[in-house]
């Protein structure tokens, strides 16, 4: 068995290739008690010693749409500043905070996804007298290097072929065409889900200008293994729009790319819509390189046999830390689905699994406004209020499982330059959709005071009006997002200045 924790740097390289107000109320100590806002107190608009007041920051942001914001003292639970805390808005990738706790509670921090190869018969003269079965476990970090390790173990065992078939089990998670059907079809962060996930179910498209046009390649790109993929095809088109177009038939996936967008050369990840065919070809190519001849793959149900090779993921705790840092949607969905399956049958889809996570967070944290349609936050129909999200943060606590996994957030000034405040630390999760932005986490102030916060902003009318062809980069989207992030940073600076003395 290969422990994939030793390949952490390889995985990081792949990931990098891939984003009503209240005060004076206290949270009760019990996890099942959440905020319920009283009327706004007086004096909230007074400026702090280090700059503008809470209300002037909100009004000065010039941000259209709605807000839901809460800041609490983590020890007492007292609400220090808030705006519409009971209003439910899309959490975007901040939903991954809930998914993290859901996965840790259902699966355990030390859980590992183990991908195995079974032989259904004995090995004689290097030939398996039966089938060789690749058993997918829903590992979202499985990559081409993992396949190389599996094939290497087979070669070390002296296996060179089979008398039967090469079979793949990929039903540990349901086959889901895409996380959110409202996204552009070519974005790599919205791939197909399945029980066998290779390279985040993305294929690497690379192009180089040649004498008579372009040299194109599609590969299952890892660090040590980069098998060429032929079941996913690419052609160049002289059309004006769109940049990428997709189609598939019974045998392969087909992409085309606009010639004018290619330049001299480059590469990008594209989503895989037929993960079975992709993984099957990648493994057969890698196995052949090791001297192992396998027939075309066939799908199978769960089978028994003798384990002849295996690779395991890093521990779930480390996987979730990576997910929170790089905001990998497929990791969130795979972990969420696996967590839901732990309670019974494998969910049939994300909506069903999201509903299970919704029930869990409502029961565990009394988060009455929570409603999740997936585990990544990519679907904009998910909702939660800032007060309920902060209830979750406080219940887990400063010394809980979540905070050490969150990414350190750098403080910036009004111009976006790094603005360090000595003795202050912010650990949080960001979330971004078109015309929706979120930030939630923990603050340690220079005086040692510990705070928890959630900031949700969204202009749902503008989001709903985006034409399909503009959904990757809608008009006005960057400006709106910049205003929201500037407001978030202004609030962080204020909170540290006012409550950190």
119 part of a folded domain: yes
**Helical packing angle, 316-326 and 95-107, nearest 10°:** 170
- Angle, alpha carbons 388-391-396 (nearest 5°): 135
The pLDDT score that the predictor gives to residue 125 is 96
* Beta pairing class for 244-248 and 232-237: unpaired
Are 160 and 302 in a shared domain?
Answer: yes
Domain limits for position 170 = 114-312
Q: Give the residue from 312, 329, 345 where a domain finishes.
A: 312
User: Mind giving me the DSSP string for 424-438?
Assistant: -EEEEEEEEETTEEE
Radius of gyration in angstroms for the set of CA atoms belonging to the chain, rounded to a whole number? 25
Q: Give the residue from 266, 295, 312 where a domain finishes.
A: 312
* Beta pairing class for 213-219 and 384-385: unpaired
The pLDDT score that the predictor gives to residue 50 is 54
Distance CA(132)–CA(155), nearest Å, equals 13
Are 255 and 387 in a shared domain?
Answer: no
Q: How far apart are the first and last CA of the chain?
A: 53
Confidence (pTM): 0.89
pLDDT along the chain (501 residues), means of 10: 47 46 36 37 42 94 97 96 98 98 98 98 97 98 98 98 98 94 87 96 96 94 97 95 90 93 93 96 98 97 96 98 97 98 89 97 97 96 98 97 97 89 96 97 97 98 87 90 97 95 83
Are 120 and 88 in a shared domain?
Answer: no
283 part of a folded domain: yes
Supply 271's token pair.
Answer: 């989503």
The pLDDT score that the predictor gives to residue 241 is 86
User: Mind giving me the DSSP string for 306-334?
Assistant: EEEEEEEPPPHHHHHHHHHHHT-HHHHHH
Are 54 and 143 in a shared domain?
Answer: no
Q: How many structural domains does the chain have?
A: 2
129 part of a folded domain: yes
Supply 277's token pair.
Answer: 């065919």
Supply 432's token pair.
Answer: 């971004």
16 part of a folded domain: no
Are 391 and 490 in a shared domain?
Answer: yes
- Angle, alpha carbons 124-130-135 (nearest 5°): 115
User: Mind giving me the DSSP string for 450-501?
Assistant: EEEEEEEEE-HHHHHT--GGGSSS-TTHHHHHHHHHHHHHHHHHHHHHHH--
Supply 29's token pair.
Answer: 């100590």
The pLDDT score that the predictor gives to residue 89 is 98
Are 291 and 226 in a shared domain?
Answer: yes
The pLDDT score that the predictor gives to residue 314 is 97
409 part of a folded domain: yes
Distance CA(203)–CA(220), nearest Å, equals 5
Q: What CATH number is given to the structural domain containing 468?
A: 3.40.710.10
243 part of a folded domain: yes
Burial 60-96 (b: 16+ CB within 10 A, else e): ebebebbbbbbbbbbeebebbbbbbbbbbbbbbbbbb
Are 88 and 186 in a shared domain?
Answer: no
102 part of a folded domain: no
Q: What are phi and psi of 216, to 5 degrees?
A: -115, 145
């Amino acid at each position: 068995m290969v422990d994939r924790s030793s390949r952490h740097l390889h995985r990081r390289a792949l990931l990098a290739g891939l984003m009503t107000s209240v005060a004076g109320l206290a949270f009760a100590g019990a996890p099942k008690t959440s905020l319920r806002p009283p009327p706004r107190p007086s004096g909230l608009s007074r400026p702090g010693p280090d700059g503008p007041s809470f209300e002037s920051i909100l009004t000065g942001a010039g941000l259209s749409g709605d807000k839901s914001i809460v800041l609490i003292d983590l020890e007492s639970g007292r609400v220090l500043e808030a705006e519409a805390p009971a209003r439910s808005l899309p959490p975007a990738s901040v939903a991954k905070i809930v998914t993290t706790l859901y996965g840790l509670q259902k699966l355990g921090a030390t859980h590992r996804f183990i991908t195995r190869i079974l032989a259904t018969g004995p090995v004689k003269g290097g030939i398996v007298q039966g089938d060789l079965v690749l058993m997918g476990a829903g590992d979202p970090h499985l990559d081409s290097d993992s396949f190389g390790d599996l094939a290497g173990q087979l070669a070390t065992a002296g296996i060179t072929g089979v008398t039967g078939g090469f079979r793949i089990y990929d039903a540990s998670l349901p086959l889901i065409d895409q996380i959110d059907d409202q996204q552009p079809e070519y974005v790599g962060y919205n791939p197909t889900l399945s029980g066998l996930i290779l390279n985040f179910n993305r294929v690497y498209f690379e192009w180089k200008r040649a004498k008579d046009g372009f040299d194109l390649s599609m590969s299952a790109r890892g660090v040590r293994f980069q098998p060429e993929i032929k079941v996913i095809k690419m052609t160049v088109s002289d059309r004006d729009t769109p940049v990428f177009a997709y189609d598939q038939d019974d045998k392969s996936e087909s992409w085309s790319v606009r010639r004018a967008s290619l330049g001299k050369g480059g590469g990008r990840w594209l989503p895989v819509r037929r993960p079975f065919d992709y993984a099957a070809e990648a493994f057969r190519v890698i196995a052949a390189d090791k001297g192992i001849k396998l027939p075309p793959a066939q799908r199978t149900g769960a089978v028994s046999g003798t384990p002849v090779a295996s690779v395991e993921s890093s521990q779930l705790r480390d996987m979730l830390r990576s997910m929170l840092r790089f905001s990998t949607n497929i990791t969130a969905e795979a972990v969420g689905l696996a967590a839901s399956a732990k309670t019974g049958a494998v969910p049939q889809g994300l909506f069903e699994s999201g509903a299970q996570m919704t029930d869990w967070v409502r029961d565990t944290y009394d988060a009455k406004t929570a409603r999740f349609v997936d585990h990544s936050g990519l679907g904009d129909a998910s909702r939660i209020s800032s007060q309920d999200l902060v209830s979750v943060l406080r219940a887990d606590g400063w010394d809980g499982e979540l905070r050490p996994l969150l990414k350190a957030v750098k403080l910036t000034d009004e111009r976006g330059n790094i603005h360090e405040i000595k003795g202050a630390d912010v650990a949080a999760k960001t979330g971004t959709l078109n015309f929706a932005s979120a930030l939630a986490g923990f603050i340690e102030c220079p005086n040692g005071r510990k705070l928890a916060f959630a900031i949700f902003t969204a202009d749902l009318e503008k989001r709903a009006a985006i034409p399909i062809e503009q959904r990757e980069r809608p008009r006005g989207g960057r400006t709106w997002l910049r205003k929201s992030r500037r407001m978030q940073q202004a609030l962080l600076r204020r909170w540290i200045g006012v409550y950190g003395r």
